[in-house]
Amino acid sequence: MENNFKKEDQQKQISIKGMHCKSCVDLIENKLKTLKGIKEVKVNFIQERAFIRFNPAKISLDIIVGKIKEMGYKPSLEDKMNESPQKEKIIRIRLEKPSFLTVLIGIILILTFINIGYTFSLRNKLSVLAGGTILESGSQSPGVLKEVESNQPSQQKSLPNEPSQQPSKIEVSVDDDPVRGSENAPVTIIEFSEYQCPFCERFFRQTLPQIEENYIKTGKVKYVFRDFPLGFHQNAQKAAEASECADEQGKFWEYHDKLFENQNALEVSSLKQYANDLGLNEVEFNNCLDSGEMASEVEKDFTDGSQYGVSGTPAFFINGIELVGAQPYNAFEQIIEQELNKEK
């Protein structure tokens, strides 16, 4: 194909219908380039047009169009030659302004993803890990509570010839909270707990019965329960208030046990039903619970616990020695025995 540009050369654009891919471009260009008088051929199948420069003295435009028809395409001449063969064509895509519906759908999708992320994070916090303790931020405390595993190493016995490491103690008040066991017992266990916490329920079922049998009933330990309802557990606050209302009628421990035995049903209607089951005065109990008069008592326990460094449930202080989580019986036994030996 001749490439030199001469004054007598003509330039034309031909619209070509029926092109589907790059192979069509190659076919048309290769065929036309073989014709005498064709100087330059550029075909664009996307725009369905061909730029052709030729010498009209050697080949007519009709012949060129005819050749394209012979190849099975539908050529037609364009009236205006508005493109320079020396420049690349720029295809501009005009984006319409987004509609209100498009914007609304976009906002909904963004909010959905945010909600999924939050739900996933929340579910991780609620996951009951083997040997773990759920510690959630409470609405009553300005601090941030964190997750702590309950398989915290218990106090280790000193090896022979090793100096004994005495654990630090915290002076923890029993306040005016219910006591199980002898008031004169040499060892005091204070638990900060709540009724919706699964690990508190585990302690109640698995560990407390052994402590009660071996130490509380024998007069060696007195056990004190203080409220520490986690803000995340929606029924924990009212359950704590209900137990305080039961205490007003002298049946705290019966009600305490009833709540842990029915931990999956702690809505207000159930709380009232348990009071009725235990023979409490229905009118007095319901008025106490509905009025919220025990909220301040629960709040005081929570505030005290936070000041002692409690960051979740269950948390124990055995003669001031802190033990965190639903620990096995032997963890309590070791500290209790250590404290009892000091009394000898």
CA-based nearest residue to 143, from 306, 301, 298: 306
Report the predicted TM-score, pTM, of the whole model to 2 decimal places.
0.55
Looking at domain 10-77, does it have CATH number 3.30.70.100? Answer: yes
Edge to edge, what strands does the sheet with 74-77 contain?
38-44, 49-54, 10-17, 74-77
Per-residue pLDDT of the chain (344 residues; tens, 9 = 90+): 545 557 778 888 888 888 767 778 888 888 888 898 898 999 887 788 888 988 988 999 889 888 888 888 888 887 544 444 444 443 343 444 566 777 788 888 888 777 676 554 454 444 433 334 444 433 333 344 433 345 444 444 343 444 445 567 888 998 889 999 999 999 999 999 999 999 999 999 999 999 999 999 999 999 999 999 998 899 999 999 999 999 999 999 999 999 999 999 999 999 999 999 999 999 999 999 999 999 999 999 999 999 999 988 999 999 999 999 889 999 999 999 999 998 76
Pick the CATH number of 133-157+167-342 from 3.30.70.3270, 1.10.1200.10, 3.40.30.10, 3.40.50.1820: 3.40.30.10
Break the chain into its structural domains and give their ranges.
Answer: 10-77, 98-127, 133-157+167-342
Distance of CA 296 to the CA centre of its chain: 32
Per-residue pLDDT tens over the stretch 124-156: 444 433 334 444 433 333 344 433 345 444 444
What pLDDT, on the 0 to 100 scale, is given for residue 167? Answer: 65
What pLDDT, on the 0 to 100 scale, is given for residue 79? Answer: 58
What pLDDT, on the 0 to 100 scale, is given for residue 282? Answer: 94
What pLDDT, on the 0 to 100 scale, is given for residue 9? Answer: 84
Tell me the backbone φ, ψ of residue 290, rounded to 5 degrees: -70, -30
Q: CA–CA separation, 145 vs 229, rounded Å?
A: 12
- 26: its two tokens: 């190659």
76-109 b/e (C-beta count within 10 Å ≥ 16 → b): eeeeeeebeeeeeeeeeeeeeeeeeeeeeeeeee
What pLDDT, on the 0 to 100 scale, is given for residue 269? Answer: 95
What pLDDT, on the 0 to 100 scale, is given for residue 117? Answer: 63
Strands 187-193 and 221-227: parallel
What pLDDT, on the 0 to 100 scale, is given for residue 320? Answer: 94
Q: CA–CA separation, 261 vs 204, rounded Å?
A: 9
What pLDDT, on the 0 to 100 scale, is given for residue 99? Answer: 67
